[in-house]
C-alpha cells in the first residue's frame, strides 16, 4: 500500500469520524450512524476503484458540514475537518488514478511526495483560515454581500473564459 | 463533468448558500474550496509545447524480435507540474520491458527520455503520436494533446530457404536462368539434334546420328535454361481462412508465399505477388533482392479480409499475368475454387497450388471435446474431410495442375523438399 492510498483511507476515516463525532456531540446519533455507514461504503468504493463515488462523497460531506453549520449550530471544528478531509479524499482518489501513468515506484514517489505536501499545506491553511473566520465571526452588511456577489460573478466569468480559451 | 467544473459548482453552491443565509461565519466552509481552486489556477498550464523524437533500433524485423523504442520528450513551453505521457503502442505489439506510460514533472526547456522494448507478430505497426496530459500541481485544470511522432515498424514474415522450385511454364523470358525453356541452344540437358552449323564445337557432333545418316552431319542441341515470369497469388479471403486457438491458417499461407517468392527470385525469375483479399494488392513483378524486399513488405502487411466481389477466385485478374506464365497459388482452396484453377490451366498457365492443410490445422487446434462428441467421432469427421479433400485435389491434378499439400505440423522447407522431388520425378 503506497502513501497515497494510506492518506486516502486516513482522510475518509478521519473525515467520517469528524462529521459523525460532531453530530453525536449535539445529540443526533442516528444521523451520525448514517454518516459512518456512508464512510464504510466510501472505503469499499476505494477498494473497488469506483472513482465516481468520491464525487458523491465530497458533495454529501460538504452538505452535511453545511447543514451542521448553517442550520444546527454545530461545533464548527468538526464540520470543517469533515469537509476538508472529504476534499482531500476526493483529490487523492483522482491522484491515485493518475499515478497509474507512472512507470515505476521510483518515478511515482517524487510526484506523490510533492502532491501530498501541497495537499497538506492546503488542508492546514484551509483549516486555519476557516477557523480564523469563525473566531472573527464576520457579520455581513448589505454592502459586503453586494461586493461578494460581484466578486463571485466576476470570478465565475473568469473561470468560464479560461475554460473556453482552452477548448 | 470534469473535476474543475464539479468543484466550481460545489464552491458556487456553498457561496450562494452562505450569502442566502446571511451568516458570514458560515461562509468559512467555502474557504478550503477557494484555496484549492486558487492553488490550481496559480500553476495551471496554458498550453503543452512538447517536441517528441522517436527512435527504433530496427524498422524491419522478424516476428518476435525485440525492438527498443526510445522516445525523447523536450519541453519547449512553460514548466509542466504534472505531465502524464502515454506513448500509444499499436495494437498487436507486446511490451516486453519498460513502460510506455510515465508521470513526471518537466521543467522549461528540459528533456525527458524513456525507452521500452516491444515485440510483435507479423504485420505493419504505425506509431502515431504520444498522448500528453498536463495539469496544475493538484491535477484540477488539465489539458491534453497528442503530439505526433510517426514511425513504422514492419514485422516481416518468416521465410524458409527453399532449393530450386520446380516450375516449367510454357513461355520463358529471354534471360538465362534455371527453367527449362523448351528451346534448343546452350544448356545442360539434351534437347535434340539439328544439322551441323559452322562453328559448332566438334564434341557437340552426334556421331551416332551421322553414322545412321551419312549424307549429313548432325550436332546435339541442349535445352536452354531461362528465367520465367511467376505470379505468386496469396489467397487472403476470410472465408478461406481458419482460426483456432488464437492461430490463423492465413499465417501459414503467408510463410509459404514468402518462402516460394524468395526461392523463385533466388533462381533469377521475375516474380510478382498478388494478395487476393478484401482488395487486390499487387506487387509488380521484378527481379532480385529489392523485389524480395518489396514482396516481404507486402506480405508483412497482408491481412485476411472479406469482400463480396472477391468472395470466389473467379475474379482473379489474369491480365496481370503474362500469357503462359507460371502461377503459384497459395491457398487452402475451397470446393468452389476448383473450376477457376482448372480454367487457369486451360488458358495455358502453368499452375502450382500450395495448400496449407486446413484439416490438419483444425484437427491440431481443436478445443476440448464437449460431452456431445467422442474422440472417435472427431477422428471420423477428420477422415471424411480428408477423403473429400483428396478427391478434390485429385481432380486438380488430373487437369494438369501441380498440387502440393503442406502438412502444417512440419516445417515448410522440409515439406517442400520431398514435394519438389516428387514433382520433378513426375515431370520426368
B363-384 tens-digit pLDDT: 888 877 777 778 888 889 889 9
Q: A118, B84: Cβ pair inside 8 Å?
A: no
Q: What is the pLDDT of residue A139?
A: 58
Taking the Cβ of residue A103 and every Cβ of chain B, the question of whether any pair is shorter than 8 Å is answered with yes
Nearest CA to B228 out of B127, B105, B323 is that of B323
Mean pLDDT is lowest, of A156-165, B22-31, B375-384, for A156-165
| pLDDT at residue B186 tops 60 | yes
Which of A 39-98 lie inside 8 A of B, CB atoms?
Answer: 55, 58-59, 62, 65-66, 69-70, 76, 79-80, 83-84, 87, 91, 94-95, 98
Taking the Cβ of residue A130 and every Cβ of chain B, the question of whether any pair is shorter than 8 Å is answered with yes
Residue from B9, B15, B31, B113 to probe the interface with A (highest A Cβ count within 10 Å): B31
Which domains occur in chain B, in start order?
52-155 (2.60.40.10), 176-226 (no CATH), 229-427 (3.40.50.410)
| pLDDT at residue B79 tops 70 | yes
Residue from B16, B17, B35 to probe the interface with A (highest A Cβ count within 10 Å): B35
Q: Is A166 in the same domain as A105?
A: no
Nearest chain A Cα to B115, which residue? A103
Question: At A68, is the secondary structure helix, strand, or coil?
Answer: helix
Q: What domain range is A8 assigned to?
A: 3-136
Percent of chain A with pLDDT over 90: 31
Q: Is A58 in the same domain as A84?
A: yes
Q: Is A81 in the same domain as A158?
A: no
| pLDDT at residue A1 tops 70 | no
Nearest chain A Cα to B22, which residue? A140
B295 — pLDDT class (breaks 50, 70, 90): very high
The radius of gyration computed from the CA coordinates of chain A, to the nearest angstrom, equals 18
**A51, A87, A94, B70, B110 from A55: Cα distances, Å:** 8, 9, 10, 39, 35
Q: A91, B139: Cβ pair inside 8 Å?
A: yes
Q: Is A10 in the same domain as A42?
A: yes
Percent of chain B with pLDDT over 70: 97
Question: At B323, is the secondary structure helix, strand, or coil?
Answer: coil
Q: Is A102 in the same domain as A146?
A: no
Min CA distance, A137 vs chain B (Å)?
Answer: 5
Q: Is A119 in the same domain as A160?
A: no
**Residues of chain B contacting A79 with CB distance shorter than 8 Å:** 29
Over residues B170-175, the mean pLDDT reads 73
Q: Is A57 in the same domain as A124?
A: yes
Which of A 2-41 lie inside 8 A of B, CB atoms?
Answer: none
Mean pLDDT is lowest, of B51-60, B169-178, B224-233, for B169-178
Q: Is A93 in the same domain as A146?
A: no
* Average pLDDT across chain B, whole number: 88
Over residues A53-65, the mean pLDDT reads 91
Q: Is A98 in the same domain as A59?
A: yes
Mean pLDDT is lowest, of A62-66, A109-113, A158-162, B387-391, for A158-162
Percent of chain B with pLDDT over 90: 45
Q: What is the pLDDT of residue A74?
A: 75
Q: Alpha-carbon dihedral of residues B292, B294, B299, B304, nearest 10 degrees?
A: -140
Q: Shortest CB distance from A138 goes to which of B25, B103, B104? A: B25
The secondary structure of A70-110 as a DSSP string is: HTS---HHHHHHHHHHHHHHHHHHHHHHHGGG-SSHHHHHH
**Residues of chain A contacting B105 with CB distance shorter than 8 Å:** 110-111, 114
Q: Is A104 in the same domain as A23?
A: yes
Taking the Cβ of residue A133 and every Cβ of chain B, the question of whether any pair is shorter than 8 Å is answered with yes
Q: A69, B102: Cβ pair inside 8 Å?
A: no
Q: B19, A66: Cβ pair inside 8 Å?
A: no
Q: What is the pLDDT of residue B404?
A: 93
**Residues of chain B contacting A120 with CB distance shorter than 8 Å:** none
Q: Shortest CB distance from A148 goes to which of B4, B12, B19? A: B19
The secondary structure of B361-416 as a DSSP string is: HHHHTPPPPPTTS-HHHHHHHHHHHHHHHHHHHHHHHHTT-EEEEE-TTS-HHHHH
B428 — pLDDT class (breaks 50, 70, 90): low
Nearest chain A Cα to B86, which residue? A101
Per-residue model confidence as pLDDT tens digits over B136-155: 888 888 888 999 989 999 99
Q: What is the pLDDT of residue A138?
A: 57
Q: What is the pLDDT of residue A89?
A: 94
Residue from A76, A106, A120, A130 to probe the interface with B (highest B Cβ count within 10 Å): A130
Q: A66, B39: Cβ pair inside 8 Å?
A: no
Question: At B19, is the secondary structure helix, strand, or coil?
Answer: helix
Q: What is the pLDDT of residue B390?
A: 93
CA-based end-to-end distance of chain A: 37
| pLDDT at residue A50 tops 70 | yes
Min CA distance, A13 vs chain B (Å)?
Answer: 19
Mean pLDDT is lowest, of A8-12, A38-42, B415-419, for B415-419
Q: Is A93 in the same domain as A17?
A: yes
Nearest chain B Cα to A75, which residue? B26
| pLDDT at residue B1 tops 60 | no
Determine contact, residues B177/B269, Cβ cutoff 8 Å.
Answer: yes
Q: Is A114 in the same domain as A32?
A: yes
Over residues B325-338, the mean pLDDT reads 92
Q: Shortest CB distance from A66 goes to which of B29, B32, B41? A: B29
Count the Cβ atoms, other than its own, within 10 Å of residue B348: 12
Rounded Cα–Cα distance for residues B65 and B52 (Å): 25
Q: A66, B32: Cβ pair inside 8 Å?
A: no
**B167, B184, B188 from B179: Cα distances, Å:** 7, 13, 11
* A22 or A150, which is more confident: A22
**Residues of chain B contacting A102 with CB distance shorter than 8 Å:** 101-103
Q: Shortest CB distance from B32 goes to which of A130, A134, A163? A: A130
Over residues B409-417, the mean pLDDT reads 90
Structurally, how many domains does chain A consist of?
2
Amino acid at each position: 500500500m503506497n502513501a497515497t492510498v494510506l492518506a486516502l483511507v486516513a482522510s475518509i476515516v478521519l473525515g467520517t469520524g469528524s462529521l459523525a463525532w460532531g453530530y453525536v456531540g449535539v445529540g443526533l446519533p442516528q444521523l451520525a450512524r448514517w454518516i459512518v455507514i456512508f464512510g464504510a461504503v466510501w472505503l469499499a468504493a476505494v477498494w473497488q476503484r469506483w472513482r465516481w463515488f468520491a464525487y458523491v462523497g465530497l458533495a454529501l460531506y460538504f452538505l452535511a458540514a453545511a447543514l451542521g453549520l448553517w442550520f444546527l449550530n454545530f461545533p464548527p471544528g468538526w464540520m470543517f475537518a469533515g469537509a476538508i478531509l472529504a476534499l482531500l479524499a476526493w483529490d487523492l482518489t483522482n491522484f491515485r488514478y493518475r499515478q497509474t501513468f507512472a512507470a515505476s515506484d521510483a518515478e511515482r514517489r517524487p510526484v506523490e511526495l510533492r502532491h501530498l505536501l501541497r495537499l497538506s499545506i492546503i488542508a492546514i491553511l484551509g483549516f486555519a483560515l476557516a477557523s480564523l473566520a469563525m473566531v472573527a465571526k464576520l457579520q455581513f452588511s448589505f454592502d459586503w454581500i453586494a461586493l461578494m456577489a460581484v466578486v463571485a460573478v466576476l470570478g465565475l466569468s473568469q473561470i468560464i473564459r479560461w475554460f473556453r480559451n482552452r477548448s | 463533468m470534469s473535476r474543475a467544473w464539479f468543484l466550481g459548482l460545489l464552491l458556487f453552491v456553498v457561496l450562494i448558500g452562505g450569502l442566502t443565509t446571511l451568516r458570514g461565519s458560515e461562509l468559512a466552509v467555502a474557504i478550503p474550496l477557494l484555496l484549492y481552486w486558487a492553488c490550481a489556477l496559480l500553476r495551471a498550464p496554458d498550453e503543452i509545447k512538447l517536441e517528441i523524437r522517436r527512435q527504433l533500433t530496427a524498422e524491419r524485423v522478424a516476428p518476435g524480435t525485440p525492438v527498443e523504442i526510445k522516445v525523447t520528450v523536450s519541453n519547449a513551453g512553460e514548466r509542466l507540474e504534472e505531465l502524464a505521457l502515454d506513448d500509444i503502442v499499436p495494437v498487436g505489439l507486446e511490451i516486453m520491458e519498460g513502460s510506455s506510460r510515465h508521470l513526471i514533472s518537466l521543467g522549461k526547456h528540459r528533456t525527458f527520455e524513456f525507452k521500452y522494448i516491444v515485440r510483435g507478430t507479423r504485420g505493419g505497426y504505425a506509431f502515431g503520436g504520444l498522448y500528453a496530459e498536463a495539469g496544475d500541481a493538484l491535477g484540477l485544470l488539465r489539458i491534453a494533446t497528442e503530439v505526433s511522432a510517426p514511425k513504422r515498424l514492419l514485422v516481416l514474415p518468416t521465410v524458409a530457404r527453399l532449393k530450386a522450385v520446380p516450375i516449367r511454364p510454357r513461355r520463358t523470358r529471354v534471360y538465362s536462368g534455371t527453367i527449362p525453356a523448351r528451346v534448343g541452344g546452350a544448356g545442360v540437358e539434351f534437347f535434340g539434334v539439328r544439322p551441323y552449323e559452322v562453328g559448332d564445337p566438334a564434341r557437340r557432333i552426334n556421331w551416332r546420328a551421322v553414322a545412321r545418316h551419312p549424307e549429313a552431319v548432325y550436332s546435339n542441341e541442349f535445352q536452354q535454361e531461362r528465367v520465367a515470369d511467376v505470379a505468386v497469388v496469396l489467397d487472403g479471403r476470410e472465408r478461406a481462412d481458419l482460426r483456432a486457438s488464437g492461430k490463423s491458417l492465413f499465417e501459414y499461407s503467408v510463410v509459404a508465399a514468402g518462402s516460394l517468392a524468395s526461392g523463385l527470385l533466388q533462381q533469377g525469375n521475375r516474380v510478382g505477388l498478388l494478395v487476393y483479399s478484401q482488395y487486390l494488392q499487387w506487387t509488380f513483378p521484378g527481379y532480385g533482392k529489392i523485389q524480395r524486399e518489396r514482396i516481404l513488405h507486402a506480405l508483412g502487411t497482408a491481412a485476411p479480409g472479406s469482400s463480396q466481389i472477391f468472395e470466389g477466385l473467379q475474379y482473379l485478374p489474369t491480365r496481370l499475368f503474362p500469357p503462359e506464365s507460371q502461377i503459384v497459388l497459395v491457398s487452402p482452396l475451397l470446393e468452389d475454387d476448383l473450376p477457376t484453377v482448372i480454367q487457369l490451366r486451360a488458358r495455358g498457365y502453368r499452375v502450382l497450388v500450395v495448400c496449407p492443410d486446413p484439416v490438419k490445422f483444425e484437427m491440431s487446434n481443436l478445443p476440448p471435446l464437449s460431452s456431445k462428441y467422442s474422440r472417435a467421432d472427431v477422428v471420423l469427421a477428420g477422415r471424411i474431410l480428408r477423403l473429400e479433400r483428396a478427391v478434390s485435389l485429385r481432380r486438380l491434378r488430373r487437369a494438369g495442375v501441380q498440387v502440393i499439400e503442406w502438412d502444417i505440423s512440419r516445417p515448410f522447407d522440409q515439406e517442400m523438399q520431398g514435394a519438389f522431388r516428387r514433382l520433378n520425378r513426375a515431370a520426368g
